[in-house]
Amino acid sequence: MKVELTISNIDKNNRFDEEVFAYRVNKDGKVFISWYGKQVTILSGKERDKFLASIEGVDFLESQLIMAKVTGNFKRGNERNNK
């Protein structure tokens, strides 16, 4: 039994219809990935090269998915309740 992964299977709530993730490359070559404008990940070296190669030439939805995978589950366990 083979399960085909599509963007509709992964993004069931249509969160990637808007720009959730963004990235920029600084002059030193580091890649900064942000989530809703907040920096969450910095890539350099082999990770940076792999990311830039994978994101080159893909459409908007695919790029959002790649950045989501690279950042991982960065929110688990670090949320704080504002009391």
Query: Helix 60-71 crosses helix 45-55 at what angle (to 10 degrees)?
Result: 160
Higher pLDDT, 65 or 30: 30
7-10, long-range: CB within 8 Å, 24+ apart, which pairs? 7/61, 7/62, 7/65, 10/65
pLDDT tens digits, 33-66: 999 899 999 999 999 999 999 999 998 888 888 8
Residues 32/24, Cβ–Cβ less than 8 Å: yes
